[in-house]
């Protein structure tokens, strides 16, 4: 089974870094450049895992979380929230909005890969 991943991130450099880190995993990856673009792509196709940024133009990550959780397809999907903000401050808000897990940015590539592998194993099990 191939795992589909939607990465919603507005910064080109961060998208490229994520792409380089996860390429060996063999996931089917789609990128969105802001929250509204991510929501649109999530409505068009189902993704097994959504990795999304906090601060983005057009629609921020907290709004995207809420919108995704309102869709039947994403009620129980892993929504992984990334933020440069102190997680002690933002994590409760993200979890309340629907995040499954919060990741601190800048992302540690090994941690990101391990996290995505762990979620992929749960999806297949």
Q: What is the pLDDT of residues 2-44, one digit of tens each?
A: 899 999 999 999 999 999 999 999 999 999 999 999 999 999 9
pLDDT (mean) for 63-85: 97
Strand 79-83: give its sheet, edge to edge.
28-32, 4-8, 49-53, 79-83, 101-104
Structural domain spans, the chain: 4-120
- Check residue 4 and give its pLDDT: 96
pLDDT at 90 over 80: yes
4-120 under CATH 3.40.50.2300, yes or no: yes
The answer to whether 52 and 79 are in contact (CB under 8 A) is yes
The average pLDDT across 66-80 equals 97
Specify the higher pLDDT residue, 1 or 118: 118
Q: Is the pTM of this model over 0.85?
A: yes
**Beta strand 28-32 pairing with 49-53:** unpaired
Is the model's pLDDT at 124 over the cut of 90? no
Give the pLDDT confidence score for residue 1 in this predicted structure.
Answer: 58
d(CA 31, CA 73): 19
Band of pLDDT at residue 76, cut at 50, 70 and 90: very high
> What is the average pLDDT across 42-69?
97
Q: What is the mean pLDDT of the chain?
A: 95
């Amino acid at each position: 089974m191939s795992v589909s991943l939607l990465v919603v991130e507005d910064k080109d450099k961060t998208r490229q870094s994520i792409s380089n880190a996860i390429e060996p995993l063999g996931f089917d990856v789609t990128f969105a450049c802001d929250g509204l673009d991510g929501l649109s792509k999530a409505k068009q196709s189902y993704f097994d895992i959504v990795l999304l940024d906090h601060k983005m133009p057009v629609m921020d990550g907290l709004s995207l979380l809420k919108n995704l959780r309102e869709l039947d397809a994403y009620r129980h999907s892993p929504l992984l929230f990334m933020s440069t903000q102190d997680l002690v401050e933002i994590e409760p808000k993200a979890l309340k909005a629907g995040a499954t897990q919060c990741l601190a940015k800048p992302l540690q590539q090994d941690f990101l890969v391990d996290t995505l592998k762990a979620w992929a194993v749960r999806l297949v099990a």
